[in-house]
Amino acid sequence: MTAHSNIYPTKALQEIDAAHHWHPFSDMKSLNEEGSRIVTSADGVWISDSDGKKILDGMAGLWCVQVGHGRKEIADAVNRQMNELAYYNTFFKTTHPPAIALSEKLAKLAPDHINTVFYCSSGSEANDTVFRMVRTYWDKMCKPDKKVIIGRWNGYHGSTLAGTSLGGMKAMHAQGDLPVSGVHHIDQPYWFGEGQDMSPEEFGVLAARKLEEAIDEIGEDKIAAFIAEPIQGAGGVIIPPATYWPEMRRILEERDILFVSDEVICGFGRLGEWFGSTHFGVKPDLMPIAKGLTSGYLPMGGVLVSDRVADGLMNSGDDFNHGYTYSGHPVCATAALANLEIIEREGLVDRVKNDIGPYLQERWLRLGDHPLVGEARMTGLMGALELVPDKTDLKKTFPDTGTVGTICRDISFQNSMVMRAVRDSMIISPPLVLSHEEADFLVKSAEKTLNDTFQTLKKDGWL
Ligand code: PMP
């Protein structure tokens, strides 16, 4: 079969796409007027579009391509597995070698108290699994009143009913009458956006104590779990002040509620440890995973389950009435194994901690001096630049939030680099294989984009 990209010019492809393809999280009317960018191939940290333009993938796809694009060894492993056993389920007393090998591998990589994995196909499904798992756990513990799950405003946990509900995106809640009942949200630890009246240290402690206040208000005997991303990704790479997770840890150790660390973005090396919660020294009971598990080569997610929860649920003598046709899919599990093998062999987790992480951080933070940037921040390989209209008053924001971010994002594409805009902050999360030269390109391109954006905003009367 011939790929459409080989026979149709860009414009024709865009027209077919506009006629039939509904994109996620998109205003389709304006997208179809403008026309989608068509990505046709990728290699390493570079993607190529249908006009032959090469662009540095500063977002690793959607925060997921840890090992870079075009890894033949993953494709080959997947091909072999396709020919051997393309599909079988893991229901009804059945398993298969890829699911067995991946489960053993994940138990080894996870912290010592976590030795079990439940599979699904995405981060959203992982959080739907979490939702049912935590409530069922407390039922089995003879505490059926413990039902409430606490999440955070501006947290992201997926776009299914449970994922949207656990997340704190108001624009998502508004579509579909969500959250579902029994979910409560506390404030996020977003110092630049919400805490500038005090020091980051003070703000971090206060933000963590919102959990304690919510537990006291609702009642510990009614709360099943607290869910959080170690660093909020889709919310805008919100890196909590240094005091936040230590205070959270104190609270979580004192209270009898489960802690769910959503590792969908922060897992698999993004912060220089296998899991983001390890970076921050907190001990989760459950860890939803996806994205970097396969580097996006095939869809796969899961929930890593602590011995405490696994013992409570698995030894109860009942079925856990939950699962998916593709739970533990043999080809996806094979892709995950090949991907983890690369991460280990090439020492990518350590590389983020001790080599490319510090290298890029140092250069990225210098962009904080630019007249358009109110704050530059980065941990591991997750970074953000807060765009502001007035560097002498960092509380001032641009009118019509998101418009300036979108202008800057489009300019970044022209400058051959994918940066994503969240509100008016620009964010990056590049593949873990980024070389020093590519990091230099990334920072140079970001700097040019800031300069070009500054000129455009001046010309158009924003500044
Ligand atoms: N949790 C987090 C922290 C995420 O960032 C995402 C996706 N961006 C999800 C869950 C949902 O994952 P998916 O899109 O694979 O359903």
0.95 exceeded by the pTM? yes
Residue with tokens 């040019």: 448
Is the pLDDT at 2 greater than 60, yes or no?
Answer: no
Q: Catalogue all structural domains in the chain, each as residue range(s) with its CATH number.
A: 37-67+349-459 (3.90.1150.10), 73-345 (3.40.640.10)
Query: What separation in Å is there between the alpha carbon of 95 and the centre of ligand 1?
Result: 27
Six token digits for residue 460? 């158009």
Six token digits for residue 326? 């593709």
pLDDT tens per residue, range 85-117 = 999 999 999 999 999 999 999 999 999 999 999
Instruction: Considering only CA atoms, give the Rg of the chain.
Output: 22
Q: Do 440 and 447 form a contact (C-beta atoms < 8 A)?
A: no
- Cβ(157) – ligand 1 distance below 6 Å: yes
- Write the residue with the smallest CA distance to atom 7 of ligand 1: 158
> Which of the four pLDDT bands, split at 50, 70 and 90, describes residue 1?
very low
ipTM metric: 0.99
Q: Distances in Å between the alpha carbon of 453 and those of 345, 371, 386, 387, 459?
A: 41, 11, 13, 10, 10
Q: Enumerate residues 6+ apart whose C-beta is below 8 A from 462.
A: 389, 398, 404
Query: What separation in Å is there between the alpha carbon of 265 and the centre of ligand 1?
Result: 7
Query: What separation in Å is there between the alpha carbon of 448 and the centre of ligand 1?
Result: 31
Q: Best mutation site among 23, 120, 131, 157 for ligand 1, i.e. most ligand atoms within 8 A of its Cβ? A: 157
Query: What separation in Å is there between the alpha carbon of 159 and the centre of ligand 1?
Result: 8
Is the pLDDT at 3 greater than 80, yes or no?
Answer: no
Strands 258-261 and 223-228: parallel
pLDDT tens per residue, range 110-168 = 999 999 999 999 999 999 999 999 999 999 999 999 999 999 999 999 999 999 999 99
